[in-house]
Amino acid sequence: MSPVQTQEAARMRAKAALRKGLRISLSYALMLVILGFAIFPFLWTLAISITDKQASGISIYDFPKSLFPPAVTLGNFFEVITKLNLGKYFLNSVIITALTVVGTLVVSALAAYPLARLQFPGRGLIFGAIVATLVLPTEIAFIVNVLTLRDLGLLGTYAGVVLPIIATAFGIFLMRQAYLAIPGTLMEAARIDGASELQILWRVMIPLSVPSLTALGIFTLVGTWNAFFWPSVALLTNDDLLPMSVAILKLKGQFNYDVFNVAAGAMIMMIPVLVVFFLAQRFFMRGLEGAVKG
């Protein structure tokens, strides 16, 4: 190779490296901007929630000062709990979420078993009916469900919020999928040993389906904790049982509401979800696709 050619090749390589470096820097710059878009609302709300309103006396709209509070306190958190009774709503959220998660797991784990592993008349029909719930026009369901809860005497109770939402096609299909992956020989062995179907479910299927149960539990937990519309309708007549997701907007709807307290309340509601999300991120980042395919 002549010296000229070597030089030329080196220049080309340098140019390519430069272009690559530029492309990577651009990628990161873009990703940082998008990250800002995604999490800025949280950062600002966090800043507001820890702002010492007595000391600084600043408006939350005093940019950029309000993004970096000069005096920091946890006072807003105590105030929103003691003065605005946020503890009560937090507890309501915990109860409604816990009941929904347990209910969903029990109902789905039970219903999925015969659909996955037993032969019985009407199986195809039931399967079809559960699939049909995915396309039914649920727009009008809430109107009637409130009437039904009223007739059952469950309107404005925890049970009234929870019972209508625990039997879902998503949960049943997720569990069915898990049971289908378990080798049939295990069931046969248990049957020969004289195990009943309930024992097979409890001793064989459930222990081997823990990952799916966990995934279902986590999705249900986050979904229920965040849910706004249904609890707001089912608890129309009983403000005392409202979860935080509904209560926080009631607090904010008050005339002359305290911005700092509401921000603290928002953080209190967000933190448990964030903890669960960070701990269980692989379930979310894997996507729901595999689960929904049924």
Query: CB 3 → other proteins: shortest distance, Å?
Result: 27
Q: Report residue 231 as tokens.
A: 């609890």
φ, ψ dihedrals at 88, nearest 5°: -60, -45
- Closer Cβ to other proteins, 75 or 164, answer by number: 164
- Binding residues for other proteins restricted to 250-289, rule: CB under 8 A: 252-253, 259, 262-263, 266, 269-270, 273-274, 277-278, 281, 284-289
DSSP secondary structure letter of residue 202: I
The residues near 179 (Cβ < 8 Å, ≥ 6 apart) are 112, 113, 116, 117, 205, 209
| Site membership for other proteins, residue 249 (CB under 8 A) | yes
- Binding residues for other proteins restricted to 164-203, rule: CB under 8 A: 164-167, 172, 197, 201
SS3 72: strand
- Closer Cβ to other proteins, 139 or 193, answer by number: 139
| Site membership for other proteins, residue 17 (CB under 8 A) | no
Query: Which listed residue (135, 193, 194, 255) binds other proteins by CB under 8 A?
Result: 135
Any idea which residue has 């979904």 for tokens?
A: 223
- Binding residues for other proteins restricted to 207-236, rule: CB under 8 A: 222, 225-229, 232-233, 236
Query: CB 62 → other proteins: shortest distance, Å?
Result: 9
Q: By CB under 8 A, how many residues form the interface with other proteins?
A: 93
φ, ψ dihedrals at 72, nearest 5°: -110, 145
Q: Report residue 258 as tokens.
A: 């305290």
| Site membership for other proteins, residue 22 (CB under 8 A) | no
Q: Using an 8 Å Cβ cutoff, are 62 and 244 in contact?
A: no
- Closer Cβ to other proteins, 88 or 252, answer by number: 252
* Angstrom distance (rounded) from CA 130 to CA 32: 43
SS3 137: coil
Q: Using an 8 Å Cβ cutoff, are 261 and 84 in contact?
A: yes
- Binding residues for other proteins restricted to 66-95, rule: CB under 8 A: none
Query: CB 2 → other proteins: shortest distance, Å?
Result: 25
CA distance to 42, 48, 61, 152, 252, per residue, from 45 (Å)? 5, 5, 12, 41, 14
| Site membership for other proteins, residue 57 (CB under 8 A) | no
What residue type is assigned to position 228 of the chain? F
- Closer Cβ to other proteins, 73 or 112, answer by number: 112
Q: Which stretch binds other proteins (CB under 8 A): 75-83, 158-166, 182-190, 209-217?
A: 158-166
Query: Which listed residue (50, 60, 105, 178) binds other proteins by CB under 8 A?
Result: 60
| Site membership for other proteins, residue 107 (CB under 8 A) | yes
Closest CA to 196 of 123, 113, 108: 113
